[in-house]
Structure 1
């Protein structure tokens, strides 16, 4: 008993440490929430209006 109890206690502690390390690795491997990964950006034709000009919409003010 004197030799068996320390060996059993050590094995339990080792298993707990391994499990804790595994959980830490899993947390680090996850992507941060809200992260976006873009694999492909399509190359479309260019518009005749430069991006700096934007899109203009006519409107009429109603009073």
Structure 2
């Protein structure tokens, strides 16, 4: 994953991944993420268009 955060909202963990194509994404979801002990649900959000991306705030 390129980005992983623990949240205090509707999801316990949010991870951002980049897949080469749809088949690679399906493989990642079915064979890697869903096989992790404790993972009971996976929900995906596909980016249709990236309008803006900045990281000026950095990490602390």
**Common fold by TM > 0.5:** no
Q: Choose 1 or 2 for highest CA Rg.
A: 1
TM-score normalised by the chain length of structure 1: 0.25
Q: TM-score, normalised by structure 2?
A: 0.26
Bigger relative CO (Cα 8 Å, ≥ 6 apart): 2
Higher helix share: 1
